[in-house]
Amino acid sequence: MTPVRYLLWLLRLRPWLALGAALFGALWLVPGALLPLVVGQAIDTGIAAGDGGALLWLTALVVGIGLTQAACGGALEFLSRGMWMHGAGTTQRMVSEHTARLGASLHPQVNTGDVMGVSSSDVDIIGDVYEVLGRLVGSVLAFLVVGVTLMLRSPLLGTVALVGVPLAALGMAPLLAPLHRRQETQRERLAEVNGIGSDIVSGLRILRGIGGERRFLDRFRTASQRVRGAGVEVARSDSWLAGAEVLLPGLVTVTITWLGARLAVQGTLSVGELVAFYGASAFLVIPVSLTTQAAHTITGGVVSARKACGILRLRPLLPEPDSPVPLPAGPLELHDSAAGFTAVAGKLTVIDARSGAEALARRLARFAEPAPPGRVLVSGVPADRVVVAELRRRVVYAHNQDIWFSGILREQVSPDRGSTVDIETALTAADAEDIVRGLPAGLDERIGERGREISGGQRQRLNLARALAVDADVLVLDEPTSAVDAHTEARITERVAALRRGRTTVVFSQSPLWMNVADEAVRLVPEEEPCS
């Protein structure tokens, strides 16, 4: 879907909201277009002609126009904010749901900064597109009303207004293309600095450990300066556009005022008509300015929609099977033909892999495909013939560096689906009860993003508890106790072996404590390493 089609598709989702904004946009601005004409009539009929009744009636009409504008302006603001929430909220929801569906397929295809940029700033800009639509419709209608009225009063002045103002608007068009390009550049620079910032935050402890803060600070500063430079270029285009918004329509107003004054001197126009023409021509600056602002906003919205559509066009790297095969009930067996490895159903298998452990673990859980002719079988069923959702439910891969989101600890550990393993049992098996006891609110404690309030070893034990609470038919654990001491590890290995008895468990670890409790112990030797 192209960015323009995406924006139009969002508009069709809320047609009544869009029509309401357009209606009140017209009711807000069109009365203002008629106001100079009413004032001019009041001067001619009420003041010059000395008709007090007409003056009183026209004064009441001016007040009525003001009240109408105030009421319709409030309704327009309400509907415009609703339009903004629709555009921004729908885009945010679609991007969030799509990235969740992509799962592990997201990271290899797009930078973290691009996703952050769409979620943090692009959704706001897309919302702005819909917020200005009501004012845009009102501006167009107000311009037409003023132009037609001026044509009926004076063909010369009406022609100048109807021709001059559109020419003034077209004169600003060449400024939009450079602005568009510079906004694209700024958006790319911003995504780059977001990505660098995310990398620095995620690896801050490592950077401090190796003394790399200064180097990454320099990288971040350089990227920030590029963003600043791109922002200056955008501001330069904005300033030229803002100046043109005043200058070009202003020239039209000056021309109409000059011609109107000459016609008034010649007696062709009355004083009231001159005031009406001047007020109407000055008013035309408002719809032109609003139209230019809308064009500017829509230009930025197309840029942001292109970024959002880029993410929405991403597809999972692992395709769904055309003819899916269901997995059998009960414990499952895993077999990887590339490594010649088999995890026996219902047993705890510990793999001592000096290299390639993560690659094998990802293949077993089908987060990666083995190179042909290799294949992964799940109880004799090829993994690529199983629906991914079923495979994720039955075969769970837990890495010791899995990310924690900000939230309540109970919700972080407890699985969303039904499980026969309760939270307390999972915490006990992972030897993590002391962590919960040490938190002020216990399981109701709010843990920050990536679990920075707790140590690496504590976070690893909570990761293990979360994996055990899922109670999957097959659980693949990658170095689940690498950050804990030997005594704690001994308790964990015994408890996990007891809890997972009768279910298939694969543990990648070089620890002898895991080997002691294993039903099957396997050592995978890479081809380039000689067998001993």
pLDDT at position 528: 44
Q: Are 150 and 161 in contact (CB under 8 A)?
A: yes
Q: What is the pLDDT of residues 153-195, one digit of tens each?
A: 778 877 887 777 777 777 776 776 777 678 778 777 777 777 6
Q: Are 458 and 524 in contact (CB under 8 A)?
A: no
Instruction: Take residue 471 and report the two structure tokens written for it.
Output: 């109670």
- Separation between Cα atoms, residue 420 and residue 418, nearest integer Å: 7
Tell me the pLDDT of the chain averaged across its residues.
Answer: 84
Region 148-152 average pLDDT: 80
Q: Are 195 and 187 in contact (CB under 8 A)?
A: no
pLDDT at position 327: 93
| Element of type H or E holding 376 | strand 376-378
- Separation between Cα atoms, residue 211 and residue 204, nearest integer Å: 10
Residue type, 180: H
The DSSP code sequence of 310-323 is HHHT---SSPPPSS
Residue predicted with more confidence, 7 or 353: 7
- Separation between Cα atoms, residue 466 and residue 416, nearest integer Å: 11
Instruction: Take residue 128 and report the two structure tokens written for it.
Output: 């702005």
φ, ψ of residue 111 to 5 degrees: the values are: -75, 150
In Å, how far are 185, 363, 372 from 337, measured between CA atoms?
47, 11, 10
pLDDT at position 207: 53
What sections of 336-472 are H helices per DSSP? 357-364, 388-394, 409-413, 423-429, 433-437, 456-470
The structure tokens 């063909």 sit at 155
The verdict on pTM exceeding 0.75 is no
- Separation between Cα atoms, residue 263 and residue 464, nearest integer Å: 88
Instruction: Take residue 25 and report the two structure tokens written for it.
Output: 């946009």
* Nearest partner of 304 among 97, 95, 525, judged by Cα: 95
Which residues contact residue 322 at a Cβ distance below 8 angstroms, ignoring those fewer than 6 apart?
none
For the chain, helix (H) and strand (E) counts, in that order, are: 19, 11
Q: What percent of the chain has pLDDT over 90?
A: 29
- Separation between Cα atoms, residue 519 and residue 532, nearest integer Å: 23
Q: What is the pLDDT of residues 429-464, one digit of tens each?
A: 999 999 988 888 888 888 876 666 777 788 889 999
Q: Are 421 and 471 in contact (CB under 8 A)?
A: yes
Rg of the chain in Å (alpha carbons) = 34
* Nearest partner of 201 among 225, 186, 220, 226, judged by Cα: 220
Residue predicted with more confidence, 113 or 83: 83
